[in-house]
Chains A and B, each alone.
Chain A
Amino acid sequence: MERARRVLEMKGITKQYFGNTVLNNVSIDLYPGEIHALVGENGAGKSTLMNILFGMPVIHSTGGFSGEVLIDGEKVELMSPAEAMQAGIGMVHQEFMLLPGFTITENIKLNREPTTKNALSRLFRSKSLDYLDVPTMRKDARAALDRLDLAIDEWAPVAGLPVGYMQFIEIAREIDKKEVRILVFDEPTAVLTETEADRLLESLRRLAADGIAILFITHRLDEVMAVANRITVLRDGETVARLNRDEAVVERIAELMVGRKVEKVELPPRAKEPSDEDIALTIDNLVVDMPGEMVRGLSLSVRRGEILGIGGLAGHGKLGIANGIMGLYPASGRVSKNGENIPLNSPEEALSRGLAFVSEDRRGVGLLLNEPIDRNIGVTAMQVQHKFLKSWPHFLPALRLEDRAELRAYAEDMIRKLDIRCLGPNQPVRSLSGGNQQKVCIAKALALEPEILFVSEPTRGIDVGAKRLVLDLLVRLNRDHNVTIIMTSSELGELRKVCDRVAIVYRGRLAGILPPDASDAEFGLMMAGRVGKEAV
């Protein structure tokens, strides 16, 4: 294989978004007929690298990148996905891009249909008026499906097909393009069942045997081990390792993926350390129907006064836990606080029982972007606990007037305590920086004076300095005000920095709980679903 010419080379790719380096001198290459796995945590830079390969507009509108892309040894500048397609690069998407009302054949051949001329098209000399050459279309589609060993009627409509089939139709469409020599699979097995995933891996091998070069992006290390010839591990925008199949072991990859030097920060001590004797929140067999983050029967006990971290790879349901308990997505199961049952599917019930939530979707769920800071901070406490309202009329809280002075004073107090950088409580939150917006979200939750605070992705999309401030703030809340905090984050490093225990979620269930100082390999394996026992 080494003798063959490289079909794709990406050399020294560096990309910055608004001064943030997301890719630093990353290189990757592909030979015809090989399967090259690209692994890494969320935010490691995998999607950015693929966006560059496909010439996505988002890359060019944010200042382009440095480094070069070579196809068949020749330097190319791919400025749009259409150009990438012409250069022979195909992509199988994570989300299906299929028209449900069309047949499989029509989907496969869409916009590339073979046609036959007719009187009208001859008259107007327009290919758009040609007849579709349906027999050829069916023949081509059949051939593509056969290459995948998919015995399905090529004339069946896509709507109603099992999810697994849709994934294969996506692939069939790509391989039907005659010029395709490089195929990128972006987490193709994320939505598949295990047998479907096995079949998919089987067709990957078959396509590679046909000479197509495959770039396989995934979280699942078992699959990597099953099919990859070579493995490139990305972490924080840098290539941390390039391994050949024979030198790779799962443990090693896992460690490379998550490994970070965890700064050992001395956290302030507590008068009484949290323990299993004193449980604040019990989650029993929680099921949450949150698209992309399904929770499938998770049980967990949260100790009073602790900071519990929840980690896990994207799509395994860690985000669904808080959203489900707080009533934002349909949930079932049993959640009880201090032994008292919390009715699910009602944000009001959860909020009025001393739970509060800082959402991972700051701009979508967390804030009223056009409203001023004080309204953002106060509105939840006002609606749930009747705070910041005048006391009249007693009998009809709904018609009580807002107490502007009280709210303003509270907001000013929060601005001072949390060090929110702004022009004053009247400033609309849209114009604040990400870190300050996050502080407003936290202030909003604090106005409820919660006993238990859920915080999801508290540092997503904010700069390094602000990250620190936000984490410090959470620790301070926990230590000074004895708030039990359940913090969900994709950044394992920050969980290990501030949490007492870190729970890892795998496929919607608890994989285990680790102490923050457990080794990188332990975390990596648990996130990859390799171990499933309680470690603490």
Chain B
Amino acid sequence: MTDKLKQTVEHIGIPRLMIAGFLAVIFVTAYITGMSVPQLLSDSLVRVGMNGILVLAMVPTISCGVGLNFGLPLGVLCGLVGGLISMERGFVGFPGFFAAIAFAVPLAVVVGYLYSVLLESVKGQEMMVGTYVGFSSVAVMCIFWLMAPFRNPELIWAIGGKGLRSTLTLGNYYGKVLNNFAVFEIFGIKISGGLIGFFLLFCLLVYLFFRTKLGIAMLTAGANPVFAKSAGIDVRRMKSVGIIASTVLAAIGIIVYAQSYGFLQLYMAPLMMAFPAIAAILIGGASLQRATILNVIIGTVLFQTLLTTALPVTSRVIQGDISEVARLIISNGMILYALTRSTGGK
């Protein structure tokens, strides 16, 4: 009996059990203090759909052997540029959303390829170098946002200003198009079929990709590069493809995020984008070598639900705001924890 229990605990993994337990405590507290639990759940689901694809972007790099994509801001910046072009061209609603993706993806492919060339030359240091590539690209793009030739008055600083505003309202363009699509209610929980469905669709696509010949070649290259070489697989190319796929997913992810948030945030906003995504996939049980779609879904649900519910509940209980501190401790602590051990849960 105890053996079986131990096995189950090992299978799920202690970090996941602890967070799930903590979540349970939060929901019970919320219920006792008279907060609306369905409302908390609805908010959590929105956050899950909003962040999910950014977390999914970690899967290709982990699978191809590069590790966590700390350079996620690169893809995010491509997504922002795509989103801006779509606005500049005056697309609204779903066409605006899809136009943003259509502009962002080719850019992300090119940027992802260049990023992969850089990472190839720093083999073994990908995560460290990726972090600084992410940081410095955000800084470089700050200059771009100021110089970019956008003309739409809603995008640039008011009253004859030059350069793009730091926060752009998407309300008149494609804000919340997914969130407001196919919304339904169960037990008082509002679920956005569009947002959640879009996330799950991408999960399915990535899942299917790793069942194709190319996907399996990439997994093989990540699992054992020498084996892959002896099987005629071009390991370098597989890493390139993995990094490009990750960058593209990050670009799409930020567009989904932005439409849900209702704003496009420029300048320093993308700086820390990689960290919550990394924390989420690690909480989901991924390791530096292996990540599955299930890790993505579990991790995103646990991490985002925690962030969404901890803030209102703790502030209600202790009449103060420690949730931002808690968020930083949990997300960075989780990254630290995962980096110190080489294997993840199952």
Contact = CB atoms under 8 A, between A and B. Distances in A.
Contacts of B6: none
A351 to B, nearest CB: 5
A368 B223 contact: yes
Interface in A55-87: none
A359 B211 CA distance: 26
Interface in A295-346: 326-328, 346
B230 A400 contact: no
Interface in B167-218: 208, 211-214, 216-217
Interface stretch (A31-39, A104-112, A176-184, A383-391): A383-391
Nearest to A399: B212
Contacts of A347: 229-232
A400 B217 CA distance: 12
Interface string B307-333: 000000000000000000000000000
A434 B289 CA distance: 24
B240 interface: no
Interface in A202-259: none
A379 B232 contact: no
A368 B289 CA distance: 13
Interface in B140-186: none
Identify whether the interface residues of B are mostly helix, strand, loop, or mixed.
Answer: helix
A346 B208 CA distance: 29
Nearest to A351: B232
Given A352-B232, A379-B220, A384-B232, A365 B227 contact: yes
Given A368-B220, A371-B223, A383 B212 contact: no
A435 B140 CA distance: 56
A402 B227 contact: no
Interface in A360-416: 361, 364-371, 375, 379-380, 382-384, 386, 389, 397-402
Interface residues of B, number: 19
B226 interface: yes
A370 B213 contact: no
A398 B214 contact: yes
Contacts of A357: 230
Contacts of B226: 328, 361, 364-365
A370 B231 contact: no
Interface residues of A, number: 33
A348 interface: yes
A402 B217 contact: no
A401 B212 contact: yes
Nearest to B226: A365
A397 B215 CA distance: 12
A399 B230 contact: no
A399 B213 contact: yes
Given A364-B226, A365-B226, A402 B220 contact: no
A326 B231 contact: no
A462 B223 CA distance: 24
A367 B228 CA distance: 10
B230 A370 contact: no
Nearest to B217: A383
B232 A380 contact: yes
B294 interface: no
Given A398-B214, A399-B212, A401-B208, A383 B227 contact: no
B216 A402 contact: yes
A370 B220 CA distance: 11
Contacts of B223: 368, 370-371
B232 A348 contact: yes
Given A347-B232, A380-B231, A400 B213 contact: yes
B36 to A, nearest CB: 44
Given A368-B224, A370-B223, A383 B230 contact: no
Contacts of B214: 398-399
A348 B231 CA distance: 7
A287 to B, nearest CB: 20
B233 interface: yes
Contacts of A370: 223, 290
A368 B217 contact: no
Contacts of B233: 383
Contacts of B208: 401
Contacts of A369: 224
A379 B211 contact: no
B220 A401 contact: no
A430 to B, nearest CB: 11
B230 A398 contact: no
Contacts of A383: 213, 216-217, 220, 231-233
A387 to B, nearest CB: 10
Contacts of A361: 226
Contacts of A365: 224, 226-227, 230
Contacts of B231: 347, 351, 379-380, 383-384
A367 B208 CA distance: 24
B230 A397 contact: no
A359 B231 CA distance: 11
Contacts of A402: 211-213, 216
Contacts of B229: 327-328, 347
B64 to A, nearest CB: 14
B230 A328 contact: yes
A379 B231 CA distance: 8
A379 B212 CA distance: 11
Nearest to B212: A399
Contacts of A371: 223
A368 B211 CA distance: 17
A400 B212 contact: yes
Nearest to B343: A370
B230 A359 contact: yes
A375 B211 CA distance: 11
B321 to A, nearest CB: 44
B234 to A, nearest CB: 8
Interface string B26-66: 00000000000000000000000000000000000000000
A375 B217 CA distance: 11
A386 B213 contact: yes
Interface in A457-487: none
23 contacts: A347-B230, A347-B231, A347-B232, A351-B232, A352-B232, A364-B226, A365-B226, A366-B227, A366-B230, A367-B224, A368-B220, A368-B223, A368-B227, A375-B216, A379-B220, A383-B216, A383-B217, A383-B231, A389-B213, A399-B212, A401-B208, A401-B211, A402-B212
Given A347-B232, A398-B212, A401-B208, 4 more contacts: A365-B226, A399-B214, A400-B213, A401-B211
Interface of B: 208, 211-214, 216-217, 220, 223-224, 226-227, 229-234, 290
Interface of A: 326-328, 346-348, 351-352, 357, 359, 361, 364-371, 375, 379-380, 382-384, 386, 389, 397-402
